[in-house]
Amino acid sequence: MTQPIEKKPSVGLFVTCLVDLFRPTVGFAAIKLIEDAGCTVEVPRAQTCCGQPAYNSGDRADTRAIAENTIEAFEGFDYVVAPSGSCAGMLKKHYPGLLKGDAKWEARARAFSAKVHELVSFLVDVRGMRGVDARLDAAVTYHDSCSGLRELDIKQQPRALLASVAGVKLVEMQDPDVCCGFGGTFCVKYPDISNSIVETKTRSIAASGASTLLAGDLGCLMNMAGKLKREGSKVEVRHVAEVLAGMTQTPPIGGR
Amino acid sequence: MQITSPTFKQNSAGALADAQLQKALGNVRSGFIDKRQKAVNALPEFDRLRDNARAIKDHALENLDLYLEAYEAKVKASGGHVHWAQTAEDARNIILDICRSAGARTVTKGKSMITEEIALNDFLAENGIRPVETDLGEYIIQLRGEHPSHIIAPAVHLNKEQVEADFRRVHDHLPPGRDLSEPETLLNEARRVLRSAYFEADVGITGANFLVAETGSSIIVTNEGNGDLTQILPKVHIVMASLEKIVPTLEDAAQILRVLARSATGQEMSVYTTMSTGPRRPGDPDGPEEYHVVLLDNGRSSMLGTEFQDMLRCIRCGACMNHCPVYHAVGGHAYGWVYPGPMGAVLTPSLIGVDKSGHLPNASTFCGRCESVCPMKIPLPKMMRHWREREFERGLNPATQRAGLKLWAFLAKRPSLYRFATSIAIPMLSLLDRGKGRFGYLPLAGGWTKHRDLPAPEKRTFMQQLGSRATGAKEAVQ
């Protein structure tokens, strides 16, 4: 896109329903980081959720209605950024298929999709950010959430930016790329299986010796934090954006 | 075979509580994955080979009728017989007729998931014919009266000590004091016991990894050599295969072989790759007198032209289940029918109906690891979602789930109302949190809080806070 040199690119922040409801700090961290990357940020009021709960339950009609709302709300921006690989994946990879064959929406969905990015990928891959001005004195381990990793190729970007955070020591857990067992509605439809999967994950987290767990998706983070706290773990859980933006004064997800 | 897919949840609970099974499943999690990764790393063009393999199968499926007819003509020309079976029952009867014509009392079997699909062993036994499984894993589970829990490692749910106990129980003609402590001693004992069965067998039944239209050949890949003895020694060889095993040429089969073993066991090639084309010809040193191919449809042709057609590319390598966190947690038997794991979650509803197997496509986190390792690039999560759509359209999911979803969707489609409702609910919820930052129990959230705490929300929603805090960002006016 050609921009006059003095005009900053405009970003519409798709804050995601979980961040809106449970973890506003992540939203504010996202705003700071996107502004630091030389963009203006707006938050359209007309957004709710990306539609995954309906989409993954087989309810295409409601998903389409939600997708149309979302596209309409974000059409005016140069970029659409979400602090979640899962929701960004939904917007970018699944909306076009959902609206394919619809004369009114197909082209709009494709144009929308091309502008969508997950937050950390946007900072690194689109804006060329190489470091942040932040500090956290902690050994951290990073969980690769599935959609971000496999739909959007997010793997090195968060690690690259974390390496620039003063005081952070990154220690990899075993199998950081294996699912945590959240899976959206899966975790409440099949709680026992989900529990077995997240137990494997919390064992890996504990074995890493890290004092802080980070990831880029609040659903996974709430699942892992909930399990860690139930097990009495002292590991603190945060969204990676909080650390990158230096907003770690908020208590960790699930408390201490 | 009895279908227990409708009780998937109970099956899973049993599997999670089974300490022996959980120990055995630990081997799946480590062994298969590392070996596959090593094999893939050693072949830089692996991903391109996957694309080639996919294209070959797609082409074969688009022209399935053509290639099947060409294949049939070639089999006949080489002196073999082709039998078309629309249903499992048709296939069982065809095989029984062939066995009876041969006066068979014992049949040996190479490893074959398709004969599991048609429940052939029980049927033959009921009709006075003794089926003997010759693949070691299949032999073990036959002794135990079980079914495979994995499509390439049928006894992967068992530990060595369990197999030793079974061998001591069944092979009671052997000295009780013998040493069976190592896998190798178990293997040698099975080999000795099976040796006589090969010579007693009147009919040998194998599956097929490929049917080659160009030559009328069937191809099996094995690691133990049991398949060769099964198909060469008896006077009748029956190949039991489903329609989608067809590939146009030998070159095509060779292309797909390059991704098959690497994806399955991390081998470059299986130890044996065996081709058979018709019965023994005059002058051949060995081979069967009769060569039969039973071609099974059993619902597959109805997948053609639908959103499930891609599933027919599957070459049964098992990589999807080897990489599946749900399979790792509960193992294969919990899925309740022949095919477990992600490929089973897509295929089973096609073959036995989604009304009976609805849990299978739902019991996935959509982590996508299966699709990322599938050598045929089958979009497994996408097809599981299609099954969920079919279920939703038919109203098959539980009423409470539908009601909850509908209420949520009603709000999610109405941003102003959604904003209003959440701006009341979230501050109320945060009031319940007494400074701990989490809930150990919450009404209506039992599915979540059964095993984990629920992190508490901050005091107000992001949208509420955004209105009153200077952030440098302003809300867009709609």
Angle at A16 between CA A250 and CA A83, to 5 degrees: 65
| Interchain proximity B473–A15, CB inside 8 Å | no
- Single-letter residue type at B65: D
Cα distance from B116 to chain A (closest Cα, Å)? 27
Listed residue (A69, A80, A74) closest to A44, CA to CA: A74
| Interchain proximity A226–B456, CB inside 8 Å | no
Question: Of the candidates B409, B418, B450, which has its C-beta nearest A54's C-beta?
Answer: B409
Q: Which residues contact A72 (CB under 8 A, 6 or more apart)?
A: A46
B179 vs B467: CA distance, rounded Å: 77
| Interchain proximity B326–A13, CB inside 8 Å | no
Is B476's pLDDT higher than 80? no
Give the start-to-end residue ranges of the domains of chain A: 10-125, 131-244
> Given this model, what pLDDT does residue B249 score?
98
Q: Where in A188-254 does DSSP place strands (E)? A: 212-215, 236-239
Taking contacts as CB-CB distances below 8 angstroms, the residues of chain A near B389 are 58-60
> Given this model, what pLDDT does residue B1 score?
80
Is A3's pLDDT higher than 90? no
> Given this model, what pLDDT does residue B470 score?
34
DSSP annotation of A7 reads S
Question: Of the candidates B366, B389, B408, which has its C-beta nearest A183's C-beta?
Answer: B366
> Given this model, what pLDDT does residue B467 score?
80
- Single-letter residue type at B295: L
Q: Nearest chain A residue to B426 by CA: give it.
A: A21
Q: Nearest chain B residue to A57 by CA: give it.
A: B388
Span A195-213, average pLDDT: 98
Question: Of the candidates B438, B461, B472, which has its C-beta nearest A255's C-beta?
Answer: B438
> Given this model, what pLDDT does residue A13 score?
97
Q: What share of chain B is helix, strand, coil (3-state, %, to 5)?
A: 55, 10, 35
B309-346 pLDDT, tens digit each: 999 999 999 999 999 999 999 999 999 999 999 999 99
Boundaries of CATH 3.40.50.10420 in chain B? 43-298
Taking contacts as CB-CB distances below 8 angstroms, the residues of chain A near B12 are 190, 192-193
Cα maximum dimension of chain A: 55
| Interchain proximity B447–A188, CB inside 8 Å | yes
Q: Which residues contact B132 (CB under 8 A, 6 or more apart)?
A: B106, B107, B108, B109, B139, B142, B194, B197, B201
List the structure tokens of B190.
Answer: 């099975």
B181-240 pLDDT, tens digit each: 999 999 999 999 999 999 999 999 999 999 999 999 999 999 999 999 999 999 999 999
- Cα–Cα distances in angstroms (integers) from residue A42 to residues A79, A119, B276, B462, in the given order: 11, 14, 67, 13
A10 confidence band (pLDDT: 50, 70, 90): very high
Look at the block and give the residue holding tokens 């190729």: A153
| Interchain proximity B329–A196, CB inside 8 Å | yes
What SS3 state is found at B38? Answer: helix
B448 vs A187: CA distance, rounded Å: 7
DSSP annotation of A144 reads -
Look at the block and give the residue holding tokens 């809930």: B439
Listed residue (B207, B168, B160, B203) closest to B184, CA to CA: B160
- Cα–Cα distances in angstroms (integers) from residue A132 to residues A8, A120, A246, B398, in the given order: 19, 12, 9, 48
Listed residue (A44, A225, A215, A23) closest to A120, CA to CA: A215
B251 vs B216: CA distance, rounded Å: 14
| Interchain proximity B450–A191, CB inside 8 Å | yes
Question: Of the candidates A43, A60, A226, which has its C-beta nearest B452's C-beta?
Answer: A226
> Given this model, what pLDDT does residue B475 score?
42
Is B274's pLDDT higher than 60? yes
Average confidence score pLDDT of chain A: 96
> Given this model, what pLDDT does residue A4 score?
57
Cα distance from A238 to chain B (closest Cα, Å)? 12
H helix or E strand, kind and range, residue A146: helix A146-152
Instruction: Compute the count of residue pairs across chains A and B with CB atoms less than 8 Å apart.
Output: 240
B369-403 pLDDT, tens digit each: 999 999 999 999 999 999 999 999 999 988 988 99
A65-78 pLDDT, tens digit each: 999 999 999 999 99
Span B14-34, average pLDDT: 94
DSSP annotation of B44 reads T
Q: What is the sign of the dihedral through the CA atoms of B387, B388, B391 and B393?
A: negative
Whole-number CA gyration radius for chain A: 18
Backbone dihedral angles phi then psi of residue B291, each to the nearest 5 degrees? -130, 115
B90-119 pLDDT, tens digit each: 999 999 999 999 999 999 999 999 999 999
> Given this model, what pLDDT does residue B307 score?
96
Question: Of the candidates B12, B392, B437, which has its C-beta nearest A58's C-beta?
Answer: B392
Is B469's pLDDT higher than 80? no
Would you say the CATH fold of A131-244 matches that of A10-125?
A: yes
List the structure tokens of B22.
Answer: 């959980």
Q: Name the fold adopted by A10-125.
A: Rossmann fold (3.40.50)
Taking contacts as CB-CB distances below 8 angstroms, the residues of chain A near B330 are 193, 196
> Given this model, what pLDDT does residue B389 score?
97
Q: What is the ipTM of this complex?
A: 0.96
| Interchain proximity A24–B391, CB inside 8 Å | no
Report the 3 state secondary structure along B441-454.
CCCCCHHHHCCCCE
Is B454's pLDDT higher than 70? yes
Question: Of the candidates A27, A229, A250, which has its C-beta nearest B462's C-beta?
Answer: A27
> Given this model, what pLDDT does residue B443 score?
84
Cα distance from B405 to chain A (closest Cα, Å)? 7
Is B444's pLDDT higher than 90? no
Q: What is the dotted CATH code of the domain comprising B43-298?
A: 3.40.50.10420
Is A6's pLDDT higher than 80? no
Residue of A60, A69, A193, A234 to mutate, interface with B, max B Cβ within 10 Å: A193
Cα A73 off chain centre by? 20
H helix or E strand, kind and range, residue B271: none
B40-68 pLDDT, tens digit each: 999 999 999 999 999 999 999 999 999 99
Q: What is the dotted CATH code of the domain comprising A131-244?
A: 3.40.50.11810
Question: Of the candidates A20, A41, A147, which has its C-beta nearest B461's C-beta?
Answer: A20
Is B457's pLDDT higher than 50? yes
Give the count of beta carbons closer than 10 Å to the beta carbon of residue B179.
9
| Interchain proximity A56–B372, CB inside 8 Å | no
Taking contacts as CB-CB distances below 8 angstroms, the residues of chain B near A43 are 463, 466, 473, 475-476
Whole-number CA gyration radius for chain B: 26
What SS3 state is found at B402? Answer: helix
Listed residue (B318, B293, B322, B303) closest to B244, CA to CA: B303
| Interchain proximity B476–A179, CB inside 8 Å | no
B153 vs A11: CA distance, rounded Å: 51
Span A218-231, average pLDDT: 98
Give the count of beta carbons closer than 10 Å to the beta carbon of residue B28.
23
Strand B438-439 relative to strand B290-296: parallel, antiparallel, unpaired?
Answer: unpaired
A156-187 pLDDT, tens digit each: 999 999 999 999 999 999 999 999 999 999 99
- Single-letter residue type at B303: M
List the structure tokens of A67.
Answer: 């997708």
Average confidence score pLDDT of chain B: 95
A1 confidence band (pLDDT: 50, 70, 90): low
Give the count of beta carbons closer than 10 Å to the beta carbon of residue B216.
24
B468 confidence band (pLDDT: 50, 70, 90): low
DSSP annotation of A251 reads P
* CB-based contact A245:A132 (threshold 8 Å): yes
Q: Nearest chain B residue to A76 by CA: give it.
A: B476
* CB-based contact A57:B405 (threshold 8 Å): yes
Cα distance from A194 to chain B (closest Cα, Å)? 8
| Interchain proximity B461–A250, CB inside 8 Å | no
Taking contacts as CB-CB distances below 8 angstroms, the residues of chain B near A70 are none
Burial (CB count <10 Å: 0-12, 13-18, 19+), residue B155:
buried
| Interchain proximity B475–A44, CB inside 8 Å | yes
What SS3 state is found at B60? Answer: helix
* CB-based contact A208:A141 (threshold 8 Å): yes
A181-194 pLDDT, tens digit each: 999 999 999 999 99
B27 confidence band (pLDDT: 50, 70, 90): confident
A247 vs B462: CA distance, rounded Å: 15
Question: Of the candidates B391, B426, B461, which has its C-beta nearest A58's C-beta?
Answer: B391
Q: Where in B396-448 does DSSP place strands (E)? A: 438-439
